[in-house]
Structure formats: structure tokens, C-alpha cells
Amino acid sequence: MTTPLPPSNIRLEILTDLVQGAQKGLTRFVESIGHKLALDRRDVRLTSQLPEGRIVAMLGYVGQIQGGLSLVMDETAFGLLFKALSGDMMEADLDNPIVVSAAGEMLNMIGGQMVMGLAEKEYVLDLTPPQVFIGDTIRQAALSTNRRFILPYRIVGTGGRFFFTVMALRYEDDIEP
């Protein structure tokens, strides 16, 4: 017996708006710090198996749509993004808690862009505070019933790669019986 893939209870157009809004937020953020992104389309997947990384930033969104966003980065990708975010004035020292907290701020800016873009389509969402985890191989705990879109990105011309994940748990008043 196979279980339907959540978020099967969310209409496709709502899920499409969410994923596209999240991707636009990510693209706007990365371009604002002087980089360009390329999505590795053939490796996009919907799964409960999450990628692992050295630095993982997560935040949730609540309101009409409930779910979460994550940035899963290795040291190279984080270093490139952090250095650009600091105006090339700081190196990404993972022993410095202020530097590490920048991963959460990056995701907060991406989420903010997503929320503003979705507000134009009349969605009402709020963000939860970001959380950042660092270690040798961090993998988020995942329930087998929760599915995330795993979007693998490359930072063009740099060798930096990371995963951006989008999860939708439910849409207000749109739960099928």
C-alpha cells in the first residue's frame, strides 16, 4: 500500500505559487549580494529524505500556508554567500557564532522576499525565527509523511553548491476529507 505524497491536500496552483515564491526570494537575495544562481533541474525532487550539509538554516512560515524553508550548505557555499553578504569584509569563520548566525539571517531575508511576493497574490503568511545548526554532517530530522521539494543550486562561476528546501504542510481551509 502506498501513501499519497503530501502535500497532496494542497491544490497544485497553491503549491506552485509557494515554490515559485520561495525560489524568487532566493534568487533576489543572491542577486542582491552580487551572485547568480543556476538550478540543477534534473536533480529537483519531492522527498522526505533530506540532504546533509555542514550548515543548515531553517525557518517556518505560518498563516494561510504552513510549512518551512531550509538552506543546506557546505562550507564553500556558505563562505561565498557570507563573504558577499559582508561586502567582502569578513571571512566565514565557523567558530564565530556571529558569522554562523548570518546563515539564519540569509534565510530570513529569503523568506521575507517570499512572503512579500506571495502577499501580492493575496496570501497571508508570517515567518518564525530562523534556527541554525552547524556540524560535520547535519541532516534535519524528517517524518516520512512530510515531503519537501529539494532544489539543488549552483552559485554560477564559483563552485559553490547548496540545497534549498521548501515544505508545505497545509493550506488554510483547503484540507481534503
Stated as kind and residue range, the H or E segment containing 160 is: strand 160-171
pLDDT surpassing 60 at residue 68: yes
Instruction: Say what the pLDDT of residue 3 is.
Output: 39
Read off the pLDDT of each residue in 59-80 and give the average, rounded to a whole number: 92
Instruction: Say what the pLDDT of residue 49 is.
Output: 73
Closest CA to 167 of 41, 48, 80, 76: 48
Q: pLDDT confidence of 173, banded at 50, 70, 90?
A: low
**What dotted CATH number matches 12-171?**
3.40.1550.10
Closest CA to 166 of 92, 69, 46: 69
Out of 21-25, 63-67, 71-75, 146-150, pick the least confident: 146-150
Q: What is the pLDDT of residues 18-65, one digit of tens each?
A: 899 999 999 999 999 999 999 999 999 887 777 888 899 999 999 988
Q: Is 148 strand, coil or helix?
A: strand
Instruction: Say what the pLDDT of residue 146 is.
Output: 63
pLDDT surpassing 80 at residue 137: no
Instruction: Say what the pLDDT of residue 111 is.
Output: 95
Q: What is the pTM of this model?
A: 0.84
Q: pLDDT confidence of 15, banded at 50, 70, 90?
A: confident
Instruction: Identify residue 18 by its one-letter amino acid code.
Output: L
Instruction: Say what the pLDDT of residue 175 is.
Output: 43
Instruction: Say what the pLDDT of residue 47 is.
Output: 79
What percent of the chain is modeled with pLDDT above 70? 84
Instruction: Say what the pLDDT of residue 1 is.
Output: 37
Quote the CA–CA distance of 161 and 139 in Å, as a whole number.
16
Q: Cell digits for 30?
A: 543572491
The residue extents of the domains of the chain are 12-171
